[in-house]
Structure 1
Amino acid sequence: MSVGIVQNSFDFMFTDVIPVANCCYLEQEMDSESIPASGSVDKNRVLTIKPLRYLVPMFPPSSGSSSFSSPQSAPFVCAPPTGPFPPGLSPFYPHQIPYGVDNTIQSPAPLNAIRNPTPISRSANGHASKGSRRKSMTRVTVSEEDGYSDSHDQTDLGNSSRKRKVGRPRGSKKKTGSSRLVKKPSPEVDIETLANNFLSSFNLSGFTSTRRDEGDRDCVSYVLTIYDLLRRKIPQHDDTKDVSRRPDLKAGATLMTKGIRTNAKKRVGSVPGVEIGDIFFFRMELCVVGLHSPSMAGIDYLNLKASPDEDIVAVSIVSSGGYEDNDEDGDVLIYSSQGGNINKNDKDSSDQKLERGNIALENSLHKGNEVRVIRGLKDLVNPTGKVYVYDGLYTIKESWIDKGKLGHNVSKYKLVRIKNQPEAFKLWKSIQLWNDNISARNGVILPDLTSGAENFPVSLFNNVDNEKGPAYFMYFPSLKYGKPFSSSQPSQSCNCRGGCQPGDDNCHCFQKNERNLPYSSLGVVLSINSMIYECGPSCLCPLNCHNRISQAGLKLRLEVFRTNDRGWGLRSWDPIRAGAFICEYAGEVVDESESSIIDQDDYLFDANRFYEPPEFMRGIPNGCSKIPFPLLISSKNVGNVARFMNHGCDPNVYWQPVLREKGNECYLHVAFFAIGHVPPLKELTFNYGSAPSGKDELMKKKCLCGSSKCRGYYY
């Protein structure tokens, strides 16, 4: 059964340029800026399907100041609503077309199309093409990348007679040679001074010897937050851009030297404060929380007795694709021991030896102790990086000698996952299947509730009750402004036709952000400031500029899902980095004078409320969000995925004000970012803030967030 979908009116012109298959349109047309009142639309109308072979949309001319959309709206893909639609779907109209400031459609552009210094083109699914990948690997990659799995870099500097090896075995020492590309000397960054100034903003008095030896969930989260913020800060003060000067290693080494770490005491079994399913984007993160101590080797081991001559056992392993491991079965891992250069055909290739970590694996086989398993998976957002997933406890059941690809002996170990543990790696495998075929997932109501208005589809899912969808609203990916705010002084636009670049003092947007670009190339916010100044509609930089992150649309595969007791919620199929942009809060900007509307609106974002900042922002100057204009956003009738984000007393998402300027006109937006790393299918929540004084008791509602820090109510 088909469901009628409201669609904007526009004309079409046939051409032989753009092929479009299975397109459709409605016989009933509506004005592009109108929002149908409840009951004014015949919701039983069925789509009239008229296949068109070639199609180019022709949109209406600019209407001047009456345009209802904000500048630089997120890109869209003109596509019909996707089905099949189930019987009994409640009234739902998820189709609205975003126009740019001049009423022209904004074309989708890959977020990472501009990278410093070498561009990497991406396909529609976010992956780098083979040609661009090879080209980028001969140059310098961005500092966001982990750069290695197990024990090797995944980049090479190029311009040398011999490329750097990328298949060194676990635990082997890094080789150096004269073939490394020689770079001109650059001023050395005083990391010690930078770190001391940065760390002085945090309350580190709790890092006593007890917390260092054994932590808890709060301690682990705090250490990871400090590490990640320091790692993001270092590149802003390091002008060399040399891949060997990696901020992830510098940040980790600095914190461990200063004792800002937890679970430093090695142990067999679970690590306090680390949960199964937790994700990490850098090997040094595993070190600072005590999950896996070696920053490069794949096997971590422990002396069970005081003497080093006594037995050692394996306590954790990292399997990330550098060896001939077999991880097709979610409960069984065939793990190759370390050493021997088994993957490279050179004179150093040899049989693996029973030493160090290999001895520990063999001893653990006989003793039957638990071994922590961390699986390294490909990071789809960053083609040269990995996501490390803690998959829980395993035991080693058997071992044998096998012949490797080059004919040398390789020791193999079969590890079996202990039962009754939460799913982690198996969940990732399931998501891969859903990406290939969403119909394979039971409970999917709509594959894409945005009807193509976003870069990536947003599925609608319910396996809790019989609800077929949220109440009526129009999907729109950005803010609808009646009129912009006015600025006392005109703003200068940038002339960065190739995109804003770090260190460019000629860029006005760079200067407005305290001489730092606010985002990395992967869409991670770098600066902790009260305001983010993005490039505005009169700036000459392209839509994929690093300073237009919130304007480029969704970069995550999100899902609106039915919760057990809080209605609809929002989560992601993809892992989310700490600081990564998630979405903006879309809707209609309303005036404070419309008090009758505001009091009855359950989908209202009031930027003037008091929002307690995340812990890492407390005590940091300019760390709290400060709004220059009284911004009220209603997403009751018009909105995007953000309208489904529930309140959390211990949230994993926070918001920042984003300002885009055009002369004397200011367009204020609200952008959401991840507080820490968020695993797939973890519900996304933010703190709704405190109500204005005098309305506290009237607006108080019972909170069901389920957090251990739940205060029992929200506003």
Structure 2
Amino acid sequence: MNQASNFMPTPDQDVLEVKPLRTLAPMFPAPLGVNVFNQLTTSPLVFVAPAGQFPGVFGNSNHPAVRSFSAFGDQDKAISGGQTAAFSDQETGRDESAANGTPNIGANATGPIDATPMSAYKSTQPSVISLDNDDNDDEPYAGNQTSASGRNIKRPSHLSEYNMSDSLGSDSSNGTKIKRPKSSYKTAAADNELSLTPSSNPREIVEVVLMTFEALRRRHLQLDETQETSKRADLKAGAIMMASNLRANIGKRIGTVPGVEIGDIFYFRMELCIIGLHAPSMGGIDYMNAKFGDEDDSVAICIVAAGVYENDDDDTDTLVYSGSGGISRNNEERHDQKLERGNLALERSLSRKNVIRVVRGYKDPACLTGKVYIYDGLYKIHESWKEKTKTGINCFKYKLQREPGQPDGVAIWKMSQRWMENPSARGRVLHPDLSSGTENLPVCLINDVNSEKGPGHFTYITQVKYFKPLSSMKPFQSCRCLSVCLPGDPSCVCAHHNGGDLPYSSSGLLVCRKPMIYECSESCQCSFNCRNRVSQKGVRIHFEVFRTTNRGWGLRSWDAIRGGSFICEYVGEVVDDTKVNLDGEDDYLFRTVCPGEKTLKWNYGPELIGEQSINISADTFEPLPIKISAKKMGNISRFMNHSCTPNVFWQPVQFDHGEDGYPHIMFFALKHIPPMTELTYDYGDIGAEFSGVGSNRAKNCLCGSSNCRGYFS
């Protein structure tokens, strides 16, 4: 125990008196198949080699990595027929983080360290990773929900090359392989391999990894729903990412993780794994074996506090964390926690005073069974003790204090939650509802920068104003579905318009970007509660229009927003081409010009699951014959600023099936967006004749991103 502490135990608490027993430091194989040296200060994203370059690995269907992946469902059956894993939001003995080598670091080191995994010395064979997940954080399914237990996937050895692609076969969605023509897989592998451009920016690497994972998860969920199965789409996506080496920050480290920022939000534990923030997909304590001077010791490097144990979570700068073990969810057997593995590592971190990353989990307000995980920065353990819990077992307790000088993380989450419950608690409010009751939820007008009283006058509307039909848009047939449209229904006309699948997941997330999304309309027989009616239901997010420091007024949300969520529609007056001024007088004019590369490539990598690639590029992009001005009348969308690295993208949606139907410009979340983050999209490029430095239309860009073009049009 820290002798400098003023902590005094109560009569029912025992102070831990632990001697440094280095011989008890766990020496298991590295978790998640890590068997590489981490000798980079900014760990690069690793890509998988094309099948043609490495015929002995990905070009061979008999290779263990490919063979085990294609037999995903059979392995699940074999394991689930035996011992059932005990799930826990904190650490469990079966899925512990392993001792990960003996790097030489100082006692108070806080930065990344070089870690040599023990498995590098023991074996050169592919390691086995466990993709069990203790959290019920998948989306709700139509059928009965089942948890994945004991899914083991062999991953290939580490490949350090850049500009590599993957051509792994598809995972099963119901215990058997998804049947596709053999030629489709070969074509995808040869002609349309997933190719992601490497970046020296760790933030961009992490974002690409997370966006790829989420896109694969949404697609697998779509396939599962079509086949009426209820497997864990997040585990399937994680298996693909791991087997394909599509990961960031491979290797363990003490301190910050390159590309991960305080306040980042996640919805699945697997997301933490693939970016190197927290290695165990199930255990709550991540730790490693490190060298301090001439001594080696097992120390904790990251913990996930997900609310299973009785943690004190009222103070955003203090966390009382319960140790692991003692609880089994499969039966009522309970026993005292033991000072081993993760618990021992936490105790040694108290002595070593090393920083520990903390991820806090909360219930997802938008999903009854889901959770939101928030990275809250670096903490240090200040005290530890042992006490008896309400269930009668002896439990280890560790008091962690947040390191000073860090940006707010969980504090912003809790603050925004209070505002949603009581909007009057939000200070510096100029107007409680800019929409004057026309939106589903009030839109606050905030200025905590200067004395400006609000934006220029405009009329707030919630529907696009147009004066004549758009002759180029053709009417299309309405569906005759009873009650709601169902995934996999071959008779659903609206699904047929969308390529055979419903475009949204069961929780309303857009699965992938398309030239046009067709929602059900008033002429369809399905009810208003049909899952194919998402964007037409209007705004469902708590927005605030706020004064920025250098870019006028902006838009942000009190809610956390998941990638693929509908945000709002661009509303204004549809104007004729003859009335459009290209001299820059109308700063609120929306054109469907080519968006940025990140927006175009938002879709999942079809090649990763043996499907045909969707080739969408700036060369193939075709703008819609529609222009909308929000200068005189509009909604919250008129306040979204431009960014060369946006977090929002626009998507055409049509649900007016008649001859007068217009495509609606709907905005969706490009990635997970934490509360109080400004919402931005890429205004695009209207063409060389009107853009570029020195033109009348071009404006200086102040987005501040590393990929800033310097101007926007």
Look up the equivalent residue of 1:254 and give its one-letter code.
Answer: I
Q: Does 1:705 align with 2:700?
A: no
Taking a change above 3 Å as real, the CA distance of residues 270 and 493 of structure 1, as seen in their structure-2 partners, is same
Measured in 2, the distance between the counterparts of 1:195 and 1:218 equals 29
Structure 1 position 334, deviation (Å) = 0.2
Structure 1 range deviating more: 605-614 or 571-580: 605-614
Match of 2:314 among 328, 347, 350: 328
Taking a change above 3 Å as real, the CA distance of residues 641 and 203 of structure 1, as seen in their structure-2 partners, is same
Corresponding residue for residue 628 of structure 2:
633
SS in 2 for 1:670: strand
Match of 1:621 among 615, 623, 626: 615
Measured in 1, the distance between the counterparts of 2:489 and 2:221 equals 15
Corresponding residue for residue 274 of structure 1:
260
Match of 2:178 among 182, 186, 189: 189
Structure 1 position 614, deviation (Å) = 2.1
Match of 2:357 among 372, 382, 389: 372
Taking a change above 3 Å as real, the CA distance of residues 364 and 192 of structure 1, as seen in their structure-2 partners, is farther
Q: Does 1:642 align with 2:640?
A: no
Look up the equivalent residue of 2:679 and give its one-letter code.
Answer: L
Instruction: Verify the 8 A CA contact 1:575 1:680 in the aligned structure 2.
Output: yes
Q: Does 1:152 align with 2:134?
A: yes
Taking a change above 3 Å as real, the CA distance of residues 572 and 191 of structure 1, as seen in their structure-2 partners, is farther
- Equivalence map 1:122-161=2 (5 Å): 149-150=89-90, 152-154=134-136
Q: Does 1:653 align with 2:648?
A: yes
Structure 1 position 588, deviation (Å) = 1.2
Corresponding residue for residue 557 of structure 1:
542
Measured in 2, the distance between the counterparts of 1:148 and 1:499 equals 37
Q: Does 1:300 align with 2:286?
A: yes
Structure 1 position 381, deviation (Å) = 1.0
Taking a change above 3 Å as real, the CA distance of residues 659 and 466 of structure 1, as seen in their structure-2 partners, is same
Instruction: Verify the 8 A CA contact 2:137 2:267 in the aligned structure 1.
Output: no
Instruction: Verify the 8 A CA contact 2:595 2:682 in the aligned structure 1.
Output: no
Superposed CA offset, 1:447-500 (max 9, x none): 221122112221111001111121111111221222332367541101123222
Query: Aligned-residue CA RMSD in angstroms?
Result: 3.3
Q: Does 1:233 align with 2:225?
A: no
SS in 1 for 2:400: strand
Measured in 2, the distance between the counterparts of 1:217 and 1:491 equals 43
Structure 1 position 345, deviation (Å) = 11
- Equivalence map 1:26-105=2 (5 Å): none
Structure 1 position 613, deviation (Å) = 5.1
Measured in 1, the distance between the counterparts of 2:537 and 2:632 equals 23
Structure 1 range deviating more: 687-696 or 668-677: 687-696
Corresponding residue for residue 676 of structure 1:
671
Measured in 2, the distance between the counterparts of 1:467 and 1:409 equals 58
Instruction: Verify the 8 A CA contact 2:222 2:505 in the aligned structure 1.
Output: no
Measured in 2, the distance between the counterparts of 1:501 and 1:364 equals 52
Superposed CA offset, 1:121-155 (max 9, x none): xxxxxxxxxxxxxxxxxxxxxxxxxx985563549
SS in 1 for 2:381: strand
SS in 1 for 2:380: strand
Taking a change above 3 Å as real, the CA distance of residues 611 and 286 of structure 1, as seen in their structure-2 partners, is closer
Superposed CA offset, 1:582-611 (max 9, x none): 111011111112246996322111124665
SS in 2 for 1:494: coil
Measured in 2, the distance between the counterparts of 1:510 and 1:164 equals 27
Q: Does 1:283 align with 2:265?
A: no
Corresponding residue for residue 73 of structure 1:
none
Corresponding residue for residue 437 of structure 1:
422
Instruction: Verify the 8 A CA contact 1:570 1:644 in the aligned structure 2.
Output: yes
Measured in 2, the distance between the counterparts of 1:626 and 1:438 equals 42
Structure 1 position 356, deviation (Å) = 1.3
Instruction: Verify the 8 A CA contact 1:227 1:285 in the aligned structure 2.
Output: yes
Instruction: Verify the 8 A CA contact 1:156 1:164 in the aligned structure 2.
Output: no
Taking a change above 3 Å as real, the CA distance of residues 191 and 382 of structure 1, as seen in their structure-2 partners, is farther
Look up the equivalent residue of 2:707 and give its one-letter code.
Answer: K
SS in 2 for 1:225: helix
Instruction: Verify the 8 A CA contact 2:494 2:519 in the aligned structure 1.
Output: yes
Corresponding residue for residue 570 of structure 1:
555
Instruction: Verify the 8 A CA contact 1:149 1:376 in the aligned structure 2.
Output: no
Instruction: Verify the 8 A CA contact 1:202 1:616 in the aligned structure 2.
Output: no
Measured in 2, the distance between the counterparts of 1:448 and 1:471 equals 16
Instruction: Verify the 8 A CA contact 1:530 1:623 in the aligned structure 2.
Output: no
Corresponding residue for residue 202 of structure 1:
194
Look up the equivalent residue of 1:397 and give its one-letter code.
Answer: H
Superposed CA offset, 1:178-204 (max 9, x none): xxxxxx977543699999959955324
SS in 2 for 1:662: coil
Instruction: Verify the 8 A CA contact 1:627 1:657 in the aligned structure 2.
Output: no
Instruction: Verify the 8 A CA contact 2:318 2:399 in the aligned structure 1.
Output: yes
Instruction: Verify the 8 A CA contact 2:600 2:616 in the aligned structure 1.
Output: no
Structure 1 position 644, deviation (Å) = 0.3
Structure 1 position 710, deviation (Å) = 1.8
Structure 1 position 432, deviation (Å) = 2.1
SS in 2 for 1:363: helix
Q: Does 1:486 align with 2:454?
A: no
Taking a change above 3 Å as real, the CA distance of residues 649 and 259 of structure 1, as seen in their structure-2 partners, is same
Look up the equivalent residue of 1:341 and give its one-letter code.
Answer: I
Structure 1 position 504, deviation (Å) = 1.2
Measured in 2, the distance between the counterparts of 1:588 and 1:263 equals 47
Taking a change above 3 Å as real, the CA distance of residues 623 and 376 of structure 1, as seen in their structure-2 partners, is farther
Instruction: Verify the 8 A CA contact 2:286 2:302 in the aligned structure 1.
Output: yes
| Matched-pair identity in % | 48
Taking a change above 3 Å as real, the CA distance of residues 281 and 677 of structure 1, as seen in their structure-2 partners, is same
Structure 1 position 692, deviation (Å) = 3.9
Match of 2:348 among 363, 371, 374: 363
- Equivalence map 1:449-464=2 (5 Å): 449-464=434-449
Instruction: Verify the 8 A CA contact 1:317 1:371 in the aligned structure 2.
Output: yes
Q: Specify every segment of 5 or more residues in structure 2 that has no aligned partner in the other structure, as ranges.
A: 1-86, 91-132, 140-144, 152-172, 604-612
Measured in 2, the distance between the counterparts of 1:473 and 1:328 equals 42
Q: Does 1:218 align with 2:204?
A: yes
Instruction: Verify the 8 A CA contact 1:554 1:583 in the aligned structure 2.
Output: yes
Structure 1 range deviating more: 318-327 or 479-488: 479-488
Structure 1 position 341, deviation (Å) = 1.1
- Equivalence map 1:445-524=2 (5 Å): 445-486=430-471, 490-524=475-509
Number of aligned residue pairs? 541
Corresponding residue for residue 88 of structure 1:
none
Look up the equivalent residue of 2:178 and give its one-letter code.
Answer: V
SS in 1 for 2:654: strand
Instruction: Verify the 8 A CA contact 1:268 1:315 in the aligned structure 2.
Output: yes
Measured in 2, the distance between the counterparts of 1:156 and 1:262 equals 23
Instruction: Verify the 8 A CA contact 2:211 2:671 in the aligned structure 1.
Output: yes
Instruction: Verify the 8 A CA contact 1:261 1:289 in the aligned structure 2.
Output: yes
Measured in 1, the distance between the counterparts of 2:393 and 2:623 equals 67
Q: Specify every segment of 5 or more residues in structure 1 that has no aligned partner in the other structure, as ranges.
A: 1-146, 158-162, 167-171, 175-183
Measured in 1, the distance between the counterparts of 2:684 and 2:419 equals 35
Taking a change above 3 Å as real, the CA distance of residues 349 and 336 of structure 1, as seen in their structure-2 partners, is same
Instruction: Verify the 8 A CA contact 2:593 2:623 in the aligned structure 1.
Output: no
Corresponding residue for residue 666 of structure 1:
661
Measured in 2, the distance between the counterparts of 1:338 and 1:554 equals 42
Structure 1 position 274, deviation (Å) = 0.6
Instruction: Verify the 8 A CA contact 2:147 2:232 in the aligned structure 1.
Output: no
Structure 1 position 265, deviation (Å) = 0.4
